[in-house]
Amino acid sequence: MTVMEWEALRLSLWVSCCAMTGSLIPGILVAWILARFEFPGKSILDGLVHLPLVVPPVVIGYLLLLLFGQRGIIGAWLLKTLGVTVAFTWKGAAIAAAAMAFPLLVRAVRLSIEGVDQGIEDAARTLGAGPVRVFFTVTLPLITPGIITGLILSFARSLGEFGATITFVSNIQGQTQTLPLALYTLTQTPGGEAGAMRLCVISVAVAMSALIASEVMSKRFTAYIRG
């Protein structure tokens, strides 16, 4: 593998891990709200959460650029207050990946929450447990397989993100060039077919490994809970 390919692989794994980790708590919170509460505007929130699944990724990337660019509402504040630039950096790549993968995490966790028997939670409350204790001692263990599935799906989706990333942070080798962007670059480069094939195989192998790991971990944790 060339230096460019190693850099792309390393950056992709780092960006995917950051996107997955950063989405965890917000994803559980949003999934909990959508699964357990009825309120005006719930359908709008649900639609916004799932919007990245139905619009072109370039649209999400452009919206992120408007928000997090140096002249954007959030980007200008970050630059002025913290001296942090997000656009055209690996941080922006992680944000783009997280935005595209967030709906998969929320959906997996939401389905898991909806599958929990609320009678078990009610029984814990009658024994004197408060809402926070019920969540951490009863609900959270029961939905952990769904959380694991959501995290792995989020990781795999982040690993393959292209459209939003290239729109928001461009394709800068060693800084924002993830596996899909490096693969695209090689397909446009004369003599780059061999490198493109290597990255294609690596991308498939990493994604399949993540999905298999998700299945194994979910089954083992489910068996542990039932055992």
Model pLDDT for residues 64-121, shown as the tens digit of each residue: 999 999 889 999 999 999 999 999 999 999 999 999 999 999 999 999 999 888 888 8
178's tokens: 């993830």
* Domain boundaries defined on the chain: 3-61+88-226
Residues 113 and 34 sit within 8 Å (Cβ to Cβ): no
More confident residue, 109 or 217: 109
- List, for residues 132-159, the tens digit of each pLDDT value: 888 888 899 889 989 998 999 899 999 9
Q: Nearest-CA neighbor of 16 among 216, 224, 209, 222? A: 209
Coil, strand or helix: which one is 88?
A: coil
What's the CA gap between 9 and 190, in Å, rounded? 21
What's the CA gap between 214 and 75, in Å, rounded? 35
What is the topology classification, in CATH, of domain 3-61+88-226?
MetI-like fold (1.10.3720)
CA distances from 58 to 29, 40, 85, 174, 192 (A): 27, 30, 20, 22, 25
Total residue count of the chain as it appears in this document? 227
What's the CA gap between 165 and 62, in Å, rounded? 10
- List, for residues 158-188, the tens digit of each pLDDT value: 999 999 999 999 999 889 999 999 999 999 8
Q: Is the pLDDT of residue 227 over 70?
A: no
Q: Nearest-CA neighbor of 112 among 155, 149, 151, 153? A: 149
Residues 92 and 123 sit within 8 Å (Cβ to Cβ): no
What's the CA gap between 181 and 34, in Å, rounded? 34
Instruction: Give the residue carrying structure tokens 């942070």.
Output: 169
- pLDDT confidence band for 55 (50 / 70 / 90): very high
Question: Taking each helix axis from N to C terminus, what angle separates 90-114 and 57-68, rounded to the nearest 10 degrees?
Answer: 120
What's the CA gap between 78 and 85, in Å, rounded? 7
